[in-house]
Amino acid sequence: MGYSSFTVDDEYVIIGSANINQRSMDGGRDTEISMGAFQPCYTVGQSPDYVPRAGVYGFRMSMWFEHLALREEVFNKPWTKECMKRVTELATQYWEEYSRPEPITDMKGHLLRYPYVVKEDGMLGNVPGFECFPDTNGHVLGAEKPCLPRILTV
- Per-residue pLDDT at 10: 80
User: Residues 43-99: pLDDT tens digits?
Assistant: 555 666 666 678 888 888 999 999 999 999 999 888 899 999 999 999 999 988 888
The 3-class secondary structure across the chain, one letter per residue, is CCCEEEEECCCEEEEECCCCCHHHHCCCCCCCCEEEEECHHHCCCCCCCCCCCCHHHHHHHHHHHHHHCCCCHHHHCCCCHHHHHHHHHHHHHHHHHHCCCCCCCCCCCCCCCCCEEECCCCCEEECCCCCECCCCCCECCCCCCCCCCHHHHC
pLDDT at 48: 63
> Per-residue pLDDT tens for 98-115?
888 887 778 889 888 888
- Asked whether the whole model's pTM tops 0.85, one would answer no
